[in-house]
Chain A
């Protein structure tokens, strides 16, 4: 299923990424970069929710804390991409490791509550540690990102960077899901008892999934402050975790790439509908309810069955009977 094995799909993705870079204006490029970065974080959440059945309400913690780590490091060491990105991924991984250690043996409601509380703790730290994080005011005055001699501060290079990250992260997540570890993760979601009987260690598998998701979310978080040259406590707040879940459900749980559609749909509604009414969240709610009722597999699932139906119609009854 990797893109490398499907040249047609790979070409399509390349064109889809290149088009906006050529045509879109400054504002739209930055907006797309934001969609891709948040989408990457949502996609890493999909590893937990869609494959492991681990609904986490604290996924903003690895994302947001990595954003802070990257921002703080860049203030003293400069915005070198080769420093910022690994640092973000490592921070995300470390935060996920702490969270993973706590939730190893819980599930369902307790998992939800524990991740929520851990996220709250992360937010409290950020909000009250004024000397380091700037408290409610957040951090600004960040240097632009750079890679060697190139400065990556204009909208186009930020967009291409975000697209590159999204692509790399999706590839990594896909190979994780396709690997025996990913298969075992699905196994423990479906049949935990049988998996234990087969000799799999549920905590260990969950822990690796947390690490993988944390690293990806952290890498996305590392780029986030540089889109707007600002990072604030909102990026660690639990409402962002909840928003990620809404984006994931709208986009399609378990599809990975649906996460980007979900974040695009959500942010578009938020940005454009809110120009006309304060009640834009009503629209988000409406989209959410309609998705759950009509497209239980999200936009990604809907598109897939559309394409599937079209291919089916064209090829006659090769799949029937």
Chain B
């Protein structure tokens, strides 16, 4: 986001942009208080950000009541369904998009496979695994054991032995951050890598946060993700991002940038004035936006982006670096949206 502002000289659609940052600390109460401060005290025109789904859901009623256009990057399915709001735009994926496509890919590649799932036990993990399991079952796939671990699990050793004992044909998993790093390291230590195919959500193998920390432990694994450094749409952003001394971009940096591009697009389409949000919203949804996440049309029912979901395989790139490499793309995946 800051990179995009620097590139455009802090000007969007001829208007100077003032950029304020507040930390929600991934706590709903704190996030709500901060949002109220930004709305009430700083009188912001647009809110954007929020990775934590809990915070995003908590903000839903606050921004809707205050009628402040908000671009939320949390990925809970409900944000595109029950909690959709005319003031919320979602320039990122929903958890369903990734779990659903992963099931389609797994079933396409290994139709007879018995799939075991393993994930962190919190809202996002439950959604990823639940959506994977639903789609996989609908396709006629066979599900094995479902394993849940607490968030911030220190030792996956016992888990590895029980996975090995189950002898699944494929493992679907979701972990993020330090959990992902610990899991993948132990996955290799227990020599499961290369023996059991591992497929997961993109955050499990994030290009920026996870892959550099696990050596070649993730080599050959597959993930479904809206972001990939090898996707053509990301190329220009990769260059600009790495020019600031950063590594290949992962999800958070790319979605932040894409979110900025969407905001820029709506401002440009409205000549810098979005005080009439109803019109601005229609202008934004009228035609797709070109972003670092690719061609991005919006679903007018819920303000949810319709995204290309890439199937990434972790391969050895130049200089032995592990790189999420696109091997297939599901075009224009659209969340089922609110029940009608």
Contact = CB atoms under 8 A, between A and B. Distances in A.
A113 interface: no
Interface in B1-58: 22-23, 25, 27-30, 32-34, 36-37, 39-41, 53-54, 57-58
B122 A136 contact: yes
A271 B30 CA distance: 8
Given A138-B28, A230-B28, A232-B58, A275 B22 contact: yes
A26 interface: yes
Contacts of A275: 22-23, 37
Contact of B37 (A27, A136, A234): A27
Contacts of A234: 27-29
A46 B30 CA distance: 24
A271 B37 contact: yes
Interface residues of B, number: 29
B76 A137 contact: yes
A27 B44 CA distance: 13
A135 B58 CA distance: 13
Nearest to B22: A275
Contact of B58 (A28, A31, A230, A278): A230
A233 B103 CA distance: 31
A275 to B, nearest CB: 6
Interface string A7-29: 00000000000000000011110
A136 B61 contact: no
A189 interface: no
B315 interface: no
Contacts of B58: 138, 140, 228, 230, 232
Contact of B61 (A130, A141, A232): A141
Interface string A176-198: 00000000000000000000000
A31 B76 contact: no
Given A27-B36, A274-B25, A278-B23, A140 B57 contact: yes
A274 B34 CA distance: 10
B60 A137 contact: no
Name the prevailing secondary structure of the A interface residues.
helix
Nearest to A144: B65
B78 interface: yes
A230 B61 contact: yes
Given A138-B28, A138-B54, A229 B33 contact: no
Given A25-B41, A140-B83, A274-B23, A135 B29 contact: no
A221 B25 CA distance: 22
B62 interface: yes
Contacts of A291: none
Nearest to A38: B29
Contacts of A232: 27-29, 54, 58
Interface in A115-137: 130, 135-137
A56 interface: no
A181 B22 CA distance: 47
Q: Give the interface centre of B28, B32, B123 by most chain A CB atoms within 10 Å.
A: B28
A229 B61 CA distance: 7
A75 B24 CA distance: 27
A232 B58 CA distance: 8
A170 interface: no
Q: Give the interface centre of B32, B33, B53, B126 by most chain A CB atoms within 10 Å.
A: B33
Interface string A194-232: 000000000000000000000000000000000011101
Nearest to A235: B29
Contacts of A141: 61, 83
Nearest to B60: A140
A228 B123 CA distance: 21
A140 B27 contact: no
Given A25-B40, A27-B41, A138-B54, A228 B23 contact: no
Interface string A30-63: 1100100000000000000000000000000000
Q: Give the interface centre of B22, B23, B53 by most chain A CB atoms within 10 Å.
A: B23
A157 interface: no
A52 B30 CA distance: 32
A232 B22 CA distance: 20
A27 B39 contact: yes
Contacts of B40: 25-28, 30
Interface string A258-281: 000000000000110011001000
Contact of A34 (B23, B28, B33): B33
Q: Give the interface centre of B25, B29, B54, B126 by most chain A CB atoms within 10 Å.
A: B29
A278 B28 CA distance: 17
Contacts of B34: 271
Nearest to B29: A234
A138 B37 contact: no
B173 to A, nearest CB: 19
Contacts of A230: 28-29, 32, 57-58, 61-62
A30 to B, nearest CB: 6
Nearest to B52: A136
5 contacts: A30-B36, A135-B126, A138-B54, A229-B61, A230-B28
Given A27-B40, A137-B57, 12 more contacts: A27-B37, A27-B39, A28-B40, A31-B36, A136-B122, A137-B78, A229-B62, A232-B27, A234-B29, A271-B37, A275-B22, A275-B23
Interface of A: 25-28, 30-31, 34, 130, 135-138, 140-141, 228-230, 232, 234-235, 270-271, 274-275, 278
